[in-house]
Amino acid sequence: MIELLNGLNPLYSLSGLGVGILVGLTGVGGGSLMTPLLILAFGFHPATAVGTDLLYAAVTKSGGTVVHGMNRNVDWRLAGWLALGSVPATGATLALLFHLGVTGKQAGGLMSAGLGVALLLTALAIFYRGRLLRWAESRPRRLSRDATIRTTIWLGAIMGLLVSVSSVGAGAIGVTALLLLYPGLPTARIVGTDIAHAVPLTLVAGIGHWMLGSVDWLLLVSLLVGSLPGIAIGSALAVRVPEAVLRPLLATVLVVIGGKLLLSA
């Protein structure tokens, strides 16, 4: 234990603190910020950045799931439908990464490209969520129950693919899609359900990356040391920061980072 603490990198913990504060302020998943930071700023291989961030997300989102569950803000049946699509898709994606050689150049390029696409989709979800919801509310016809369930399962599969190659996709993208599919559910319940589903998704994907050898445990602990108090600080400051300014600014940053990752893939 002492050796582990001595091996912690304060710079990584400081980065975790900053990302945690932004997550608490905006609600945007840490993978959208942490994974590109690890790749572009610290030079980690995409597989190591993604694998480590997946287990980091599983830990942090578990706490959020407990809180949302106690407040009855989780639709467990809906979370199960998402998992029906995401867990098999995660397994198939991990098998592909194993086939390519997870730490090789080919897999690294695939993961950088996947991360770039996921960041651009996240930015679009942040920019246009209000317009999309108004469009959905204006539609006179809704999908049937069976069609909605099938679409939810497919959404889970897409999230499983994106999260496994990029660690991004279970936050702003998932919430926006669920709000469009289930306009009658309160936003808090949608968010709680998305977080609850993200726990098994990121845990399964993270364990898969660990088995493939793409998890840095010292990095993981260093990030958690900073990010856990950071999320608490950001959540406390959220009521004082104008969301209309912060979220578009964050979306713009994600577009720039996503474009850079796509160009480097």
pLDDT tens per residue, range 157-172: 999 999 999 888 777 7
Q: Is the pTM of the predicted complex or chain greater than 0.75?
A: yes
pLDDT at residue 234, rounded to an integer: 78
pLDDT in tens, 107-140: 888 888 888 988 898 888 888 877 877 877 776 6
* Percentage, residues of the chain above pLDDT 70: 91
Q: At what angle do helices 105-138 and 31-40 cross, to 10 degrees?
A: 150
Question: Given a cut of 60, is residue 4 above it in pLDDT?
Answer: no
According to the model, what pLDDT value does residue 3 have?
Answer: 52
The pLDDT tens digits of the residues spanning 229-249 come to 887 787 777 667 676 667 777
Q: Once rounded to an integer, what is the mean pLDDT over residues 57-75?
A: 81
Q: Report whether 82 contacts 156 (CB < 8 A).
A: yes
Q: Which pLDDT does position 196 carry in this prediction?
A: 87
In the chain, % of residues over pLDDT 90:
23
Q: Tokens 């949608």 appear where?
A: 190
pLDDT digits (tens, 9 = 90+) for 165-207: 988 877 778 888 888 888 888 877 888 888 889 889 999 999 9
140 contacts: CB under 8 Å, gap ≥ 6: none
